[in-house]
Amino acid sequence: MNKLLLCLLLITSTAQATTIPVAASDVAQSWDGIYWFLVYLSLVFFVGIVAAMIIFAVKYRSGVYKKPKYIHGNTPLEIIWTVIPTILLFVCFGWGWQVYKEMIHAPSDSMEVRVIGKQWLWQFVYKNGTSSVGDLFVPVNKPVKLIMSSEDVLHAFFIPNFRVKKDVVPGMYSNVWFEAKVPGIHQVYCTEYCGTSHSGMLARLIVLSEAQWKDWLSGKKIDVDALPADPTFPGFRANRLGEGMHDAQAGTQAGGQLSLADKGKALVSSKGCVACHSADGSKLVGPSYKGLYGREEKVVEGGKTVSVNVDDNYLRESIENPLAKVVEGYPPSMPPYKGLVNEEELAAIIEYIKSLK
Ligand SMILES: [Cu+2]
């Protein structure tokens, strides 16, 4: 009877453990590889150690076995139990490092989408100026890099099917990337407790075929409910909180909508940046935006001159808190814009600066 119960328990827990979400990206497959390696490795040691413990406890129980001779060390044994775990640990480390590298380095031809987390919804801003709330549309078989920030508190962006998860932090950008392999709808969660409606901070990741993606870009409405939904999340949930705040599906580039970079261009003149910065390489009060993105900049930080790579986070800091790193050879005369530009405006301005190669 006991054996039967144990068997049942083992079978149900194994079945549960194997129903992890579908692996809908290459990274997810690599991730699963190391996950199962660690699970089985732990299982081997668990079974081995517990079995030895039980056997010894029974075999050498007091009264049955008389006190054995005292042994002082056993060099071959000690070498074996040091060398084998060391090798296993290096395998875990090396393999983990490999998968981690794959996860954090987005291919250079990735399509970029900006993600803004706020209590309690996810907003997605595309290069063409479109934005959507609660639904992230991406094409299949194309690397996508998400540049994420938060408007208020800590959030975390998690796509279980792609095995990517990253904190979304106010005041800076963090990224994840993926290449979707399975068209249809995938669940997105916020996995950092962020207030009363945290559990409702969901989104749908909608992976479109090549043709559907073209349609969506040109402003056609996609019948999302007709797309295949992921079977591992049967009670699939969309974000109801964002509805009514924005059109949940705003694929509306048609009608002469400005691209994100063009919105940025309009903003740098309406915010007065153009008084001190040019877009054509000429030096005004401050440095020109032309060729800025991606170059090495010499800046004075805390009295010392250091070299920094101009990326999204550097641009963000230069705009919100320009005195943190002052460009060498320029006066510390730029006013801080923290609180004067919101996340969406900041994204547009940075996209504009990025576009001035
Ligand atoms: Cu959140």
Which tokens in the block code for residue 281? Answer: 């390489």
Which residues surround the ion ligand 1 when the cut-off is CB under 5 Å? 155, 190, 194, 201
Rounded Cα distance between 32 and 30, Å, is 5
Rounded Cα distance between 152 and 116, Å, is 10
Ligand 1 mean position, distance from CA 337 (Å) = 25
Query: How many CB atoms lie under 10 A from the CB of residue 288?
Result: 15
Alpha helix segments (H runs only) across the chain = 2-18, 26-59, 75-104, 210-217, 260-270, 312-320, 343-355
- Please name each of the domains of the chain with its CATH number: 17-104 (1.10.287.90), 111-226 (2.60.40.420), 260-355 (1.10.760.10)
Ligand 1 mean position, distance from CA 155 (Å) = 4
Ligand 1 mean position, distance from CA 119 (Å) = 6
Rounded Cα distance between 157 and 172, Å, is 14
Ligand 1 mean position, distance from CA 138 (Å) = 22
Model pLDDT for residues 36-90, shown as the tens digit of each residue: 999 999 999 999 999 999 999 998 888 877 777 888 889 999 999 999 999 999 9
Closest among 225, 204, 121, 125 to 161, alpha carbons compared: 204
Which tokens in the block code for residue 161? Answer: 């099917």
Q: Which amino acid is at 114?
A: R
Note down pLDDT in tens along the chain; length 357 residues: 567 666 666 655 665 555 678 888 888 999 999 999 999 999 999 999 999 999 999 988 888 777 778 888 899 999 999 999 999 999 999 999 999 999 989 999 999 999 999 988 999 999 998 888 889 999 999 999 999 999 999 999 999 999 999 999 999 999 999 999 988 888 899 999 999 989 888 998 999 999 999 999 888 888 888 888 776 665 555 555 444 444 444 444 434 578 999 999 999 999 999 999 999 988 899 999 999 999 999 999 988 999 999 999 999 999 999 999 999 999 999 999 998 999 999 999 999 999 998
Rounded Cα distance between 155 and 30, Å, is 26
Rounded Cα distance between 197 and 199, Å, is 5
What angle, 0 to 180 degrees and rounded to 10, lies between the N-to-C axes of helices 343-355 and 260-270? 100
Q: 73 CB contacts (<8 Å, ≥6 apart)? A: none
Ligand 1 mean position, distance from CA 123 (Å) = 12
Ligand 1 mean position, distance from CA 122 (Å) = 8
Closest among 153, 182, 158 to 169, alpha carbons compared: 153
Ligand 1 mean position, distance from CA 202 (Å) = 9
Ligand 1 mean position, distance from CA 137 (Å) = 20
Evaluated on CA atoms 270, 275, 281, 285, the torsion sign reads: negative
Ligand 1 mean position, distance from CA 154 (Å) = 7
Ligand 1 mean position, distance from CA 239 (Å) = 12
Q: Would you say the pTM of this structure is higher than 0.85? A: no
Ligand 1 mean position, distance from CA 319 (Å) = 25
Rounded Cα distance between 66 and 235, Å, is 62
